[in-house]
Structure 1
């Protein structure tokens, strides 16, 4: 490789390292130092264990940590099990393809919006209870049953499962898009294996390495989630992450030291969950190794296949009903229990509240478009530079890209907030945009790397043989051929930006208000209409992005039959 080629590939790589590794490492340092009593900006200039002592004297701390560990790990394991059993039983069938069309759009639903909609569905005064009341239950008032915010975090776990199943499903779908996978299915069937046995004995060992990192990212997020925990999680005490946010925003500034110590504890909880999962992974392989090689065909697996289909349908139905309820509640002027549908709908009330929410919507749109644009451009630059230098995405680079997703947000955002505060950047648009990029860029790289790798290199070689430059090949050949994946990447990145609650709350310092921060704040208030409206506004930007990703390529390539056939 020439010096010029090395420079070409190094510039975007260094930019990615700066955008991802820089804020994470600086944030971890800014969290660790106050955790040990060193925070000169507040007059604490000596290292001390006092923040740790105060932290471990806090009532209910062990319970909060246990809730974060158990709910996050349980939700992640349940999501993976649902996806794998459904995929094993139905991959390659018409049912699988139809349900995949429903699951893909659900990935764009922000966690807070999904949690609010699920709360409207399963609450004691929610839609499911209304459907059975009073004719089946005899209830004319909501039952005194603790469903939301239950002390064991069951509702929170269900909310996380409903959101993580679409993500893990799409990661599994991408992993299945490998050569010879369908040949393996046919070989298993010809040997008399059932669909479940073929998948778990022959397919899963091939694709699981591609699913492991996304699964670890899901565990890291689920064990440190804030917005879903505040809406659906227990309150006496809360899981660890919401308590840390409360301490960080406490008027007593000395609590920030204790919050930093708690952030280190959150890192330990998430690490313990990741290690527990890896331990379960090894234990499962050891226990099932003999069964996997036993030669048993398990040809009669209808009950298992139907069970996987039923659970997946339940997840899709719950998410779909939740989104419908958001629309109904945002239009409802009155909806008294036990009526199954609103007594009165008021479009003007919806319009008035939409006008009130317009500033938050515009701020969300500006952040989403900016973050998605920068992330998509940097990803294209990175992939093009590495392709020009004859390199593929290395394991080290993949690890760096996943680093922000494998760490709890709260573990380094505390430190990043203090650094921005010291630099006078807290509450600025640029600071919030940088914080969003830390989490948006990994998804952009993840979404675009596979379509880029699958692009036939012969197009570029043919153009180069005719004297076309690298820039001309990129703009006139690669980009048109990859227009749809690029737009999908932009839409995914925008959806991720819209869903960023904690970075906006902490780095924005209340000056940057988005529909996500407002919807979480309103979810615990008294107005369901306002909470539903803001949750609904969260869906507009991701929905618009995916609609454009579908329509623009169709319009641009409407006269190019070969491209239409390739997309079909």
Structure 2
């Protein structure tokens, strides 16, 4: 039996979630309006057109490719035994930090990287690293590939959690009408699946356009993507470029909104195309013949991320490793011994911050979901949940500290943990809300009739499920 909900719970949740993000954004962009210098200097910067195109291109292409691969993998592999292995490997791949994934990917594809070493000299004839611009290429290709490799596991996990319970019945019905497995998936399952994927996809698009960590490692440098250039201006000594950085941050937010609007237009165009294909009765059995290629591509993406992480460990212990040897001739722990004193202090702080932020995010998410179920609290609007993910971080983070100063923030562990929580909470809510709400309420009803308390039902039944 539900207890009466609190009428102020919904507005309070919205303010607590959206308030810090909007305050940080307002504080970041406000200097752009104090004088006209920021906008004037931004327009006069010669690298602006290319930086804008890089941000748009890498974000849109990486998101589109990751989404297409996600849907193709689900359409062609979900009924195969291999898919169980793919599903089990997603969580470890998703846990890899973006910067570590980018650095590992760089070690793979660099002219002196593992791929070139494995193919040399027997396949390439190279006895020394080739003079090829692979990393930091001016077109952002290596950055786009790195983003695809990292975001694919995230979208797959979200898609698997959001698959409609009627997916198998829809596929069976499509097959009875002569459609291939993949065509039936795209025409009958995707229309029911995509609404649950829309906001995660938009979050991926926003990250692809505004990321700094992966762009610093894999992206172009002259000029860099706009988010990287904003970071450089923000961190210049003397704060001489604050107005310019604020104007650029506002432009980055406008570009992101334009990309989201363009994506929405693409959704409508694809929906119209799918409707036309259905009316024409095209069965598209050719998609099923792509199963082998999709399998190979999925394995290649997972292998690239896995080998990239392994290469980080190998390079950190490598001694003499001349090109084109595939493996180092000696191993040494010298680098670890030299870095150990600094690593101990450096690693402890982020570990504490991450642990506290994750624990707080899980506690808040589970408490809210339980209050929804038990007390009738309102479901938080999806836009509020995803606001920290859709609004570019480069437009929010610089303003968080000044916005929090009146509240007594000092930049210590509590302040940094709270800043982490703003961006960790949406991912936690996204991960837990679907399974929590999809739980079979009949199990809890039976337990209650047997005398179990609500707390016991939560800890022993609902939470483990």
Aligned length: 465
In structure 1, C-alpha distance between the alignment counterparts of 2:16 and 2:345, rounded to whole Å: 28
Q: Which runs of 5+ in 2 are unaligned?
A: none
SS state of the match for residue 136, structure 1? coil
Q: Does 1:432 align with 2:432?
A: no
Mapped partners of 2:371, 2:179: distance in 1 = 45
- 1:151-194 deviations in whole A, cap 9, x for unaligned? 00000001100001101111111121x32211112222222211
- Please state how far the C-alpha of 1:348 moved relative to its aligned partner: 5.6
Corresponding position: 1:58 with 2:45: yes
1:461 aligns with 2:445: yes
Q: Provide the C-alpha distance between the structure 1 equivalents of 2:79 and 2:85, rounded to a whole number of angstroms.
A: 11
- How far the C-alpha of 1:104 sits from its partner, in A, is 3.0
Task: Check whether the contact 1:451–1:482 (CA below 8 A) recurs between aligned residues.
Answer: no
Q: Distance in 1 between matches of 2:122 and 2:242?
A: 52
The yes-or-no answer on 1:135 pairing with 2:134 is no
What is the CA deviation profile of residues 11-35 of structure 1, one whole-angstrom value per residue up to 9, with x for unaligned ones? Answer: 4x45643442111111122123211
Aligned to 2:391: 407
Is 2:261 the partner of 1:275? yes
TM-score calculated relative to the size of structure 1: 0.78
Q: Specify the SS of the correspondent of 1:380.
A: helix
Q: Is the 8 A contact 2:401 2:411 kept in 1?
A: no
- Check the 8 A contact 1:386/1:392 in 2, yes or no: yes
Partner of 2:194: 208
- Retained in 2: the 8 A contact 1:64–1:237? yes
Match of 1:473 in 2: 454
Given that residues 52 and 226 in structure 2 are in contact (C-alpha distance below 8 angstroms), is that contact kept between their aligned partners in structure 1? yes
1:10 to 1:449, Cα distance in 2 relative to 1, 3 A: farther
CA distance in 1, matches of 2:290, 2:310: 30
For residues 109-161 of structure 1, the C-alpha deviation after alignment (integer angstroms, 9 at most, x for no partner) is 11100000000000011011111222332322211111000000000001100
| Mapped partners of 1:152, 1:431: distance in 2 | 38
Q: Judging changes above 3 Å, is the alpha-carbon distance between structure 1 residues 423 and 382 closer, same or farther for their aligned structure 2 residues? A: closer
Which segment drifts farther, 423-432 or 19-28?
Answer: 423-432
- Give me the whole-angstrom Cα distance separating, in 2, the residues matched to 1:16 and 1:349: 47
Q: Distance in 1 between matches of 2:464 and 2:243?
A: 47
Structure 1 counterpart of 2:137:
150
Give how far 1:354 is off: 3.9
Instruction: For 1:283 and 1:268, locate their aligned partners in 2 and report how far apart those are by CA, in whole Å.
Output: 23
Provide the residue aligned with 1:536 in structure 2: none
Render the CA deviation track for 1:485-523: whole Å, top value 9, x for unaligned: 6xxxxxxxxxxxxxxxxxxxxxxxxxxxxxxxxxxxxxx
Q: Which of 333, 346, 356 is 1:370 aligned to?
A: 356
The farther-off stretch of 16-25 and 274-283 is: 16-25
Counterparts of 1:282 and 1:301, CA distance in 2: 22
How has the CA–CA distance of structure 1 residues 61 and 179 changed in structure 2, closer, same or farther, with 3 Å as cutoff? same
1:19–1:438 CA contact under 8 A, matched in 2: no
Q: CA deviation at 1:298?
A: 2.6
- 1:497 match: none
Question: Of 23, 26, 29, which residue of structure 1 is paired with 2:23?
Answer: 26
User: Structure 1: any 5+ residue segments left out of the alignment?
Assistant: 38-47, 486-568
| CA-to-aligned-CA distance 1:503-548 (integer Å, 9 cap, x gap) | xxxxxxxxxxxxxxxxxxxxxxxxxxxxxxxxxxxxxxxxxxxxxx
The separation in 2 between residues aligned to 1:298 and 1:208, in whole angstroms, is 20
Secondary structure of the 2:319 match is strand
Q: CA RMSD in A?
A: 2.1
Task: Give the 3-state SS of the residue equivalent to 1:357 in structure 2.
Answer: helix
**1:283: Cα distance to partner?**
1.7
Report the CA distance between 1:457 and its aligned residue.
Answer: 2.1
The equivalent residue for 1:6 is: 5
Runs in 1 of length 4+ with deviation above 6 angstroms? none
C-alpha deviation, 1:67, in angstroms? 0.5
Please name the residue that 1:559 is paired with.
none
Q: Distance in 1 between matches of 2:276 and 2:407?
A: 59
1:562 corresponding residue in structure 2: none
Cα distance, 1:373–1:193 mapped onto 2, change above 3 Å:
same
Asked if 1:161 is matched to 2:131, the reply is no
Distance in 2 separating the partners of 1:26 and 1:435: 12
